[in-house]
Structure formats: C-alpha cells, structure tokens
Amino acid sequence: MTVTEYIKTNWPKCIRENKHDEGSLIGLPYPYTVPSISGAFQEMYYWDTYFINRGLILIGLTNQAINNTENMFSLIERYGFMPNGNRTGYLKNTQPPFLSEMVKDIYNETGDKEWLKRAVTYLIKEYDFWDKNRNTEVKLSQYKGNIAEIDLVARANGFIRRIKNRPQGYTDEQLGTQYVIACESGWDISPRFGFEAENFVQLDLNSLLCAMERNIAFFLSELNEDNTVWTERHEKRLKLMRKHMKCDGVFYDYNFKTDKTGDVFSCASLYPMWLGFLTANEAEKTVNMLPKLENTYGLSACEKVSALSDFTFQWGYPNGWAPLHLIAIEGLMKYGFKDKALEIAEKYVSLIERNFEETHNLWEKYNVTDGSINVAQENDHAKMPAMLGWSAGVYLYAKSLLKQD
C-alpha cells in the first residue's frame, strides 16, 4: 500500500459525529475530522483542520472540508470565538486563526456566494474576538489565552515537565503563563520567546490576521459590498508589522517591552512569504536565512538555539512539522523560488515515505536531521500518536506538487 492509498483508505476512519454534548465533548452539527484514527486527539482541532482540509480537497472530499468549516462556524456562534478544539477543556484558549484561509479555499472550489455571505459573518465575529481580547499597546496582536480562568501553578508544572528542566528565576505563575500562551500559539513548546512570551507579539498570528483582513475585503468585493474598512485595517497592520517586526529585511516576532525583534529564526518568519506580503527583496533575504532551518530531511521548526540547550522544545530543533513545510513550500513557489520549493517538497515526501515503509504509519512530527521519528520530547515512540491529520494533508500537497513538475 502506498502512502496515498493508506490516506484514502483510512481518512474515513477519522470522521466523527456527535450532534449533542457528551461529557466534555462539545456537540457539532456536521460530521468532523479528527487527526488520528484512535488513541489521542479524538476531537476536531482548529489549525490542524486547515491542513487536513487541504488534503481533503485534493482528493475530492470537499464536502467534508465544508463540514469541518461549518462546525467552526457553529462554535463561533456558540462561544464568540473558535476554541482550540471541541472539548470544554479547550474553551480557555483559541489557536492560530486559519479560518479565513479555509473559507478562501472552499470558495475557490465552489464559487458559492450564498455560502460565502454566511461565512463572512462568522469571520467578522472571530476577528472581533481577536481585536477585543488579544490586542496590545503597539496595536498588534498576541497569543494570550484566558489566563484569569486558568490554574497557572498547574500549568507551570506541565510546562516544566515538557521542557525537562526548570528555568531559574521564574515564579510558577510566570511559567504557567508561558504554557498558556504556547498552547494558544499551537507551538507548544517553542524557544521563540525564551521565557517571556507575554511580552511578544507573534509574527505568525499577525500575518494570519493581516490575511484575514485582506480576505474579508476580497470576500466583500465578491459580494458587491463595501470593503474600505477592511482594506484599511489590512494596510495598517502590514505597516505596523514592517515597523516593528522587520530586521535586516527579515520578519521576526517582536518584543514590545524591549522594543526589539526576537533573536530566534523560525519557520514563523516564512508566514509573510506564504501569505504574499513580502517585497521581492524581503523574500530573497528570507530565503537566504533558510540554511538555519534546512536539514537533510526537511525544515526544523526553529534554528538550533545553543543558549537554551538545557531545555527540550517540541517546536524546536530537530523536530520538523507538516504545517510548516507547506507554508515554506507554498511561499517559495509564490515568490519564484521553484527549485528550492521542490527540493523541500522532495525532502518532506521522502521523510514520510521512508518512515511509512518502516512503521506503516504517519506521525505527528519527525526528526529532520536523521530522518527518523526520534523526536525531541517523545523519544519513546509509544507516547507519540500515529497520525493522519496534517501530516497526511501536507504529504498529499507536496506529492501533487512534485507530480506537476
């Protein structure tokens, strides 16, 4: 069985349906896709679903991608924002706001303007949540979570377990805050912010919100409605990102307390390229930084950070993650770096296929230095769930790109 055959055979086994709340599980009106066939991750997650949808659309399952997106609309209608997932325990944070990109993908497939009109109302509700609850003094947004409702001491213990050692000089409340913010970012845990995540506005988040503003403006124009406010918001945010987040032509997370960009280069710096916000010169400078991330078998989430070598970061070197590969490959293609895009796509496809041949599964993350599933944080393979999810969606995307060449 090839990887593609495995995905097509097993994705139906990742469909769940429960229209009513059952214990901690939040009911959803339509069948939804979970990341794994069994075991961990038996809920619909927010940003995972974007990459799942990409794969579903590629193999002709657009109706299921629509179901997933409609379920997000229902959660926004019920709670005023899109939770981390459809569990009550996930109501304390959201995740990276990919919904407008999901809507764009579906609209590009269907051209359904009646559906688009409904979709825009939910996107505006989601945007209002971010604007009201996650804005900062520099008028850019940050991951935050509902910290007031969370036991930060318990979160601190979880944070310490995940990074293996306790950082000195930080209270439990401070470390708990790091964990809450990391969970909302989806990069749990990453070296991007050291141990002061609360002082940062994040590049991936503001790129996605900038894209949401642009997408809403486009959708309104498709509906023959005035989009002036959204165009202005998009232009304002992009201007602020250039002011605060750019260093030597490359975009980074920004510490608004120290007025400095972060000093860890990561795949987050590829988001503006993926979303088409860069000038040609900025794109070239970003690509020139790729050797910090590129390894024999793909891209690590972050460059190797020697100053934090005492700690273990799931979203750091040498771990490679499916969504970041799609963002890199598609961004490179968008700016004309086709050869590099295809090189990274080939590395990712080969990484998936060589491990599939050995283990007969797809996995949540991979070691991009040795091409194995010996990843930071979970060297015991039994602890790492076998995945379809975003690993499947990105594999199908990269494979299709290589076949087109």
The DSSP code sequence of 16-63 is E--SS-BTTBPP-SS-EE-S-SSSS--S-BHHHHHHHHHHHHHTT-HH
Quick one: pLDDT at residue 25? 98
**pLDDT less than 50: residues of the chain:** 405
Q: Find all residues with CB under 8 Å of 51, minimum gap 6, and list them.
A: 322, 323, 326, 389, 390, 393, 394
Q: Find all residues with CB under 8 Å of 201, minimum gap 6, and list them.
A: 136, 138, 140, 141, 142, 244, 245, 253, 254, 256
Q: Find all residues with CB under 8 Å of 168, minimum gap 6, and list them.
A: none
Q: State the CB neighbour count (10 A cutoff) for residue 74.
A: 16
Cis omega (within 30 of 0) on the bond before 15?
no
Distance CA 302, CA 320 (A): 9
139: left (phi over 0), alpha (psi -120 to 50) or beta: left
Quick one: pLDDT at residue 376? 84
Question: How wide is the angle at C-alpha 334 spanned by C-alphas 303 and 354, nearest 5°?
Answer: 55
Q: State the CB neighbour count (10 A cutoff) for residue 346.
A: 17
Question: How wide is the angle at C-alpha 261 spanned by C-alphas 149 and 185, nearest 5°?
Answer: 30
Residue 37 to residues 33, 247, 291: CA-CA distances in angstroms? 10, 43, 35
Quick one: pLDDT at residue 385? 80
SS3 2: coil
Q: pTM to 2 decimals? A: 0.97
Quick one: pLDDT at residue 404? 63
Instruction: Report the percent of the chain where pLDDT is more than 90.
Output: 95
CB-count burial class (<10 Å; 0-12, 13-18, 19+) for 82: buried
Distance CA 111, CA 114 (A): 9
Tokens, residue 217: 């403006």
